[in-house]
Structures are given as C-alpha cells and as structure tokens.
Structure 1
C-alpha cells in the first residue's frame, strides 16, 4: 500500500474525545487550525465536553461534536465521513469492580475497534487510522523481560500471557489491537499505525479523567502506602508526548507499524522519592516491602492476585523507544516535571488533600 499524505484541509476524527489522552489530541489539532470531528458518548453532557468547547474557543480550528457509543454498530459513520485521518482512542477503562471481564472489557474494546474500522471502510475517504493501544499489548508481566535481550521490550513483542482471568484489562488491549491489524490487512484503502504508551501521567484538561496513573499517585500521596511499597516498576510517559505522537503518526507518511511511547522505567519508591523533593509535607513511602509480605497482604489489602505479585514484583525491564524518536520525532520531557505537575493538579482538583 502506498503511504498516504493526509490532506490537512479535511477533518480529523478523534474517537473517545473527552478522554485523558484524546482531550490533548483534540486541543493540539485545534491549535494547528484543523477541523476536528470529536466523538463522545453523549455530546449533550456538559461534564464530558466543556473542556473541549473551551479548547475550541481558544484555538483557530473548528470542533464538531458527535455522539457515538462504542458497541453501537454504525455509530461512528457520521463522524468518520469525509475524514482522511481517524485517531481511535475510545476504549473501556475499568480496572476492577466488575464480575464479567469479557463483557466489561474485552467485548467493548474489540467490538468498539471493529465498529470504528468498519465505519472507516464504509466512508471511503479514510487513508490512515492511528490507534491508541498500550504497552499492555507488548507484554503481560514484568517477568517476561527475563527472556528478552537486555530485558528490553520492543515493538516486535506481543503480550501472550494475559487472559480474561489474569490481567483482563491488558488482555482487552491486546485483543483490540490484534483485531485492528486483522481488519487492516483485509482491505487496501487505509493503513494503520498504533501508539503503544506505557503508564500515562501528567496534567489533565478535565477533572473527570479516568486513568491508572491517578490511582497510583493517589495511593502514594494519601498516606495509604506510608509503611512501604512493593518493588513494582512502571514505564512512565507524559500525556502531552502521547497526544503529540498520535498527530505526528497521523501526518508523517513514513510512520508505519507500532510505536512504543515511554520515558524512563521507575519503581514506585523512585516515584515517591521524586515527589518528596517537591512535596515533602505529604506522607509518601520511604521504603520497599519484602515480596513475601506483599504476596501475603496484597490480595486482601489491594485486591491484587498472588499471580500478579509473583510475575511482576521484583523484576526490572525497559523499552526500546528509538522508533518514536527517530521516525515520529518525539522528544521526552523530564519525568520530575511530569510527575510534579500531575501531583500538583491532583491537589488543585481535590483528589489529594491539601497539606
């Protein structure tokens, strides 16, 4: 397939536009003077769209809102019509509290991806789709790094260990991405690029954000973990870099395949130490707990399975992000800046008690 050059005078469709990453994507596109077809579950719900309308007022671009539900067949047809570039970020986000992981996570993620891409097929105008995936599609558990050269994950890796019973959220991400590649290969009108970020951190454009990083930061700063944290490592990446990468991938004809987006991999204790330098008044943890203790306590205290503890606590790894830098031109900002801005906003938004 010939690599497309996207016409910037045509609208760009962004699905799940009210989300953490997507809100920044919409804002950046509007600032570049583009027309954005933004899909949300309910375009009349003020709490979902006010921050998008605010971004549109301050920018030269034009915003058009569309109501679309992930699992409603044909719901994205109107938003995609006339677009050459579609950025699909919409995906179910539930980490716990569900009884049926397939119905809560896997089915809406896979069917939602299929629905959006079938709308792209019907539109006839679409030339490129950029899909928000995750490093959860790259690997399932940190222990898998032991089988990699230098314990480094690359875009050629696929998560084969997650399932509906073990890490169902990760399983939903890998199944949705695999479905996207399957649909892409069955047609020749549009090409597919995936963005695979690690744990996304940094300031949000709305107080209604759902993200794992908020839960992680709240647990660190609230005092809940003051007695200590497990040796659990995360790749961290600023939400603004992730948003910019989607746009760079959309308009760069040379972008193809998958792109890991990640800054440094750090432990929970390293995150706490960074935050303590700026927020010494908060009860941040100062030590790591032994794995045997975490394994004993975590299933009761945090609802985390022993299988997760066994396969993730105490292991180190890293990501090869060279493609994101050399092809997309992503420049990663300092982690200290990202973490402290995020923590500061959580205080301002009342997610952490001011001290």
Structure 2
C-alpha cells in the first residue's frame, strides 16, 4: 500500500489511549489554529518535520540504539519513514520568520520515504555489527510478535504498509513562495 503525504493530512487515528504523544501534538496544533483564527496581527506557520537526521540527531541516536540492541536481530517491520536533514528544518524555520507570505502548514521532508529495512541495512554496513538486522519481517509475524514489543494490533494495522510519497507541496524561500518538485 502506498499513500501521499501532504499538508492537508492530520493524524485522525491517535487518541488518548492510542499513541497519546502523537495525539497531544495534534491537539496542540489544532489549538494553535484556533488561536490564530482569533488573531489579526500575525499568520501562523507550522513546520512539520518527520524523522530528522543530521550529524547530531537525537532521532538517529534512538534509532541506532534500537537497531544495535539486538532486540530486532531477526528483522524489522515493514515500516517507512519520511526523513529530513536538520539543516533543512532550521532553514524552513528561518524562512518562515523572514518571508512575509509564509503562512499555513509545511511538511519539510525528502520526496521519498526510507524503508526501515533499508535504514537498518545502512546502519549494519556502517556499524559492522551482526546484531543489526538486514531482513524485513513478514507482516503476519509482526502481528504475532508485535505485542511482545508493546505494539498494539491497532498500531500495527495502521502502520504496516508500503511507501509514503510526499505530494507536490508549496514551499517558501527568502525569494518567496514556489512549488518544489524535488
């Protein structure tokens, strides 16, 4: 299964009991939009970065710890991650502050997502550790063993799928808004 990731997408599946952290982020952004509707003095700009990568990325540190732990030795689930370089996130925040026409939601991400198995294979090659998995587990096996890793069947059914692709999205730069197809 594949899907398109766009600025129009809101996470509507997380709840207080299912992915409460993600749910809190959605509630916070929706409240931001409600406040922005009542204010005339400024425009709200939301920068939505996915898995951030860079030379000193906390996201990559956590991923590295997970992969090197040996817990996933037999393989990784069929997950894909939208990624972004932390420098691109910083540049987007600067542009949001400097470009008067910037308003709305922006997903700052690479055009294509990265499959978990591909990320794992890269980590394995770089770390030269046999504990880092290089296989993707069949979905049925993830459904069976997922609860041992605190994954609910609800989470598994909503997250095991193929590639997400970022749609053609508006971007802004110091020169003004334009559409990027990269």
- Which bin holds the TM-score, normalised by the shorter protein? 0.7 to 0.9
What is the CA–CA distance in structure 2 between the aligned matches of 1:245 and 1:321, rounded to whole Å? Answer: 17
Which residue of 243, 246, 249 maps to 2:96? Answer: 249
Q: 1:158 to 1:281 in 2, by over 3 A?
A: closer
2:68 and 2:129 in contact (8 A); partners too: no
Distance in 1 separating the partners of 2:68 and 2:42: 45
Which residue in 2 is equivalent to 1:318?
A: 165
User: What is the DSSP-based 3-state SS (H/G/I as helix, E as strand, rest coil) of the residue aligned with 1:200?
Assistant: strand
Normalized against structure 1, the TM-score is what?
A: 0.46
CA contact (8 A) 2:36 2:42 kept: yes
Aligned position for 1:54: none
Q: Which runs of 5+ in 1 are unaligned?
A: 1-142, 146-150, 333-355
Change in 2 beyond 3 A, CA 1:166/1:258: same
Residues 236-276 of structure 1: CA deviation (Å, up to 9, x unaligned): 11122112211111101121111001113111111022233
- The 3 A distance-change label for structure 1 pair 173 and 235 is same
Aligned to 2:84: 237
Superimposed CA distance per residue, residues 15-47 of structure 1 (whole angstroms, 9 cap, x where no aligned partner): xxxxxxxxxxxxxxxxxxxxxxxxxxxxxxxxx
Q: Structure 1 CA distance, aligned partners of 2:38 and 2:52? A: 32
TM-score by length of 2: 0.85
2:30 maps to what in 1?
178
Residue number among 190, 195, 199 corresponding to 2:47 in the alignment: 195
1:289 and 2:141 matched: no
- Match status 1:152 vs 2:30: no
The answer to whether the aligner puts 1:307 opposite 2:154 as a matched pair is: yes
Q: Take 1:190 and 1:325, find their aligned partners in 2: how far apart are those partners?
A: 17
Count residues with an aligned counterpart. Answer: 177
Aligned counterparts, 1:312-351, within 5 A: 312-320=159-167, 322-324=169-171, 327=177
1:259 and 2:97 are equivalent in the alignment = no
1:283 to partner: Cα distance: 2.7
Change (3 A) 1:247 1:282: farther
The 3 A distance-change label for structure 1 pair 201 and 329 is farther
Determine the C-alpha separation between the residues in 2 that align with 1:293 and 1:182.
Answer: 43
The structure with higher relative contact order (CA 8 Å, sep 6+) is 2
RMSD: 2.5
Deviations 1:291-328 (A, max 9, x none): 1211121212x211111111111333222263236738
Distance 2:147 2:43 in 1: 43
Q: Deviation at 1:198?
A: 1.0
CA distance in 1, matches of 2:157, 2:48: 25
Question: Is 2:137 aligned against 1:271?
Answer: no
